[in-house]
């Protein structure tokens, strides 16, 4: 049975929401310090929701169980993933989106964010659903399903997508992130590429840029 998401409500009424997915082997608390480091303006009105991935065996890690949004079956020539588990994770995200809409938050004020494997899920969730989200944060991630997903896709609605990647990322090398960015840019989405002197992580400069992008997207 999966754990409930961690929810951090704003000081006052929530009128926006960020649904933020962690990476492989991490948990729902992973990005709480990043939210604190954003130092958002008082009365920002953003609810942060951190879902927890189920714990299950990961093939490339010798079947060792850990929190993961989808199993990775192989690394070469490209990442081979369990597409059924990916779809389950996409459904989890879209259910959370519907819950927020039921609570009165407009789609245009819902941001999907994900790090690494979590980023791959939010890219698929947004493109598959074709919903007009307020934006996407694709952090140190890639698009394992984009080639198939984009075959019949259009850039309607146009998504505003913040990409961030470490220049020394040895888990998901820069070309994997850049490929996802370039595919979506070529389709007509509003993409923003940022790379940093870091590995597979988040750095202070990136947090400054996330804050700037997020406050601009939500008019704070």
Q: Which band of pLDDT confidence, cut at 50, 70 and 90, is reported for residue 80?
A: confident
- pLDDT tens for residues 57-72? 999 888 999 999 999 9
Tokens representing residue 163 in the block:
């990409």
Q: Active-site residue among 192, 194, 200, 209?
A: 200
Percent helix, strand and coil across the chain, each rounded to 5?
35, 25, 40
User: Is pTM beyond 0.85 here?
Assistant: yes
Cβ count near 4 (within 10 Å): 9
DSSP 4: P
Catalytic residue status for 22: no
Q: Within its chain, how far is the Cα of 106 from the centroid?
A: 19
Q: What is the pLDDT of residue 1?
A: 43
2 confidence band (pLDDT: 50, 70, 90): low
Catalytic pick from 22, 71, 89, 116? 116
Q: How far apart are CA 189 and CA 160, in angstroms?
A: 6
Residue tagged 């199993």 (tokens): 71
Confidence of residue 180 (pLDDT cuts 50, 70, 90): very high
Please state the domain extents for the chain: 6-54+86-217
* pLDDT reading at 77 higher than 90: no
Q: What is the pLDDT of residues 185-199, one digit of tens each?
A: 999 999 999 999 999
Nearest to 113 by CA among 11, 183, 207, 186: 207
pLDDT one-digit tens code per residue, 20-44: 999 999 999 999 999 999 999 888 9
User: What does DSSP say about strands 135-139 and 110-115: parallel, antiparallel, or unpaired?
Assistant: parallel
Q: Give me the residues paired with residue 108 across strands.
A: none
- CA-CA-CA-CA torsion sign (39, 41, 43, 49): negative
With beta carbons less than 8 A apart as the criterion, state whether 146 and 123 touch.
yes
Q: Is 107 exposed, middle or buried (0-12, 13-18, 19+ CB in 10 A)?
A: middle
- The CATH fold assigned to 6-54+86-217 is Rossmann fold (3.40.50)
Q: Which residues contact 98 (CB under 8 A, 6 or more apart)?
A: none
169 catalytic? Reply is yes
* Mean of pLDDT values over 101-120: 97
Greater model confidence, 7 or 74: 7
Instruction: Please tell me the predicted confidence (pLDDT) of residue 78.
Output: 67
What phi, psi does 147 have (nearest 5°)?
-55, -45
Spot the catalytic one: 71, 140, 165, 169: 169
34 φ/ψ angles, rounded to the nearest 5 degrees? -65, -40
Is residue 110 predicted with pLDDT exceeding 90? Answer: yes
Active site residue 4: no
For the chain, what is the mean pLDDT?
A: 93
């Amino acid at each position: 049975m999966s754990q409930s998401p961690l929810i951090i409500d704003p000081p006052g009424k929530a009128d926006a929401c960020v649904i933020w997915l962690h990476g492989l082997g991490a948990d729902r608390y992973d990005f709480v310090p990043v939210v604190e480091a954003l130092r958002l303006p008082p009365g920002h009105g953003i609810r942060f929701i951190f879902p927890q991935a189920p714990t299950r065996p990961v093939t490339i890690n010798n079947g060792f169980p850990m929190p993961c949004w989808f199993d990775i079956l192989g690394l070469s020539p490209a990442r081979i993933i369990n597409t059924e588990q990916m779809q389950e994770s996409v459904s989890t995200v879209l259910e959370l989106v519907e819950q927020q809409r039921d609570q009165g938050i407009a789609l245009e004020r819902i941001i999907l964010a994900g790090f690494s494997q979590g980023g791959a899920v939010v890219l698929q969730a947004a493109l598959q659903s074709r919903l007009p989200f307020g934006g996407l944060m694709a952090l140190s991630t890639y698009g394992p399903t984009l080639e198939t997903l984009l075959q019949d896709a259009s850039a309607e609605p146009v998504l505003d997508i913040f990409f961030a990647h470490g220049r020394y990322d040895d888990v998901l090398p820069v070309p994997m992130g850049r490929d996802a960015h370039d595919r979506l840019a070529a389709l007509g989405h509003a993409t923003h590429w940022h790379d940093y002197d870091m590995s597979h992580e988040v750095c202070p400069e990136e947090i400054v840029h996330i804050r700037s992008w997020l406050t601009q997207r939500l008019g704070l």
